[in-house]
Amino acid sequence: MKYGFFSDVHANLEALKACIIDFRAEKIDKVFFLGDAVGYGPYPDECVKLINEVASVKLMGNHDYAALGLMETDFFNQYAAESMGWTKSSISRKTIEIMSNFQLQHEFNDTLLVHSSPKEPELWHYILDMDDAKEAFGYFKQRICMIGHTHRPYTVYKDNSNEVTLSRQAEEILLDDRRYLVNIGSVGQPRDGDPRSCYLIFDSSKKIVRHKRVSYDIKATQKDMAKIGLPEYLIERLAVGR
């Protein structure tokens, strides 16, 4: 089976459509969404509708949570809070209904899926360094934990000696004597210096995970963001992947 995992679309319809086309080209058997359908971008309703159609499992992200009024935006930066204000005033009742059914976490085939961290998923902790990653291994029992949230793809593995190692290879063979924490990257807001969308493919028969980059029409998204008056900073950062 080939599984696809994508996250952090952030209402970027151009990026989402490009990735969905790529899911089909890669012959993905089953697709999982790991949260943050909305926020930052100009097409929350359209993105939530598409995500609901293509993903077998849908997780809640912190921006989705905020859009539903389940948390305040006190800890959001200025630009995130401003875009969330627009999102909350713009989304339809149908979008609210769909997102309300998103899960906080999901488990399948010895793999845990969660948006931010296996530690207290509802508190949206960030895994930003190796100390955070090492701590995270203590909060899931499964062999693999897949996350999003920071918009930076990576693979961290822990071996039998309890050593924790970071891998930035696009493709990783999953060895039987290791456990894995995998950040699947971001579709709509990459922040690792590469502006292309990123999602993860897991080939269960070959035991390989692969971060896949997909180009999309960034200028079209920027133009649409400008039309509705979203912050210039959010518009400009798309082109540099920051």
pLDDT band at 79 (very low <50, low <70, confident <90, very high): confident
Name the token pair of 67: 């859009």
Percent of the chain whose pLDDT exceeds 90: 91
Give the residue among 30, 31, 48 at the shortest CA–CA distance from 39.
48
Give all strands of the β-sheet with 105-108 in edge-to-edge order.
105-108, 111-114, 144-147, 179-183, 154-158, 164-167
Whether residue 141 contacts residue 105, with contact meaning beta carbons closer than 8 Å, is answered with no
Name the token pair of 107: 């488990």
Domains of the chain with bracketed CATH: 7-197+214-237 (3.60.21.10)
- Res 149: pLDDT: 97
Q: Is the pLDDT of residue 23 over 90?
A: yes
In angstroms, rounded to a whole number, what is the distance separating the alpha carbons of residues 183 and 173? 15
pLDDT band at 75 (very low <50, low <70, confident <90, very high): confident
In angstroms, rounded to a whole number, what is the distance separating the alpha carbons of residues 189 and 222? 12
Give the residue among 175, 181, 217, 222 at the shortest CA–CA distance from 200.
181
The strand ranges marked E within the chain are 2-6, 30-33, 57-58, 105-108, 111-114, 144-147, 154-158, 164-167, 171-173, 179-183, 197-203, 208-214
Q: Is the pLDDT of residue 162 over 90?
A: no
- For the chain, the average pLDDT equals 95
Residue range 25-46: mean pLDDT, rounded: 97
Predicted confidence (pLDDT) per residue in 163-201, tens digit = 899 987 899 999 999 999 999 999 999 999 999 999 999
In angstroms, rounded to a whole number, what is the distance separating the alpha carbons of residues 232 and 237? 9
Residue range 72-96: mean pLDDT, rounded: 91
Residue range 124-135: mean pLDDT, rounded: 95
Q: Is the pLDDT of residue 7 over 90?
A: yes
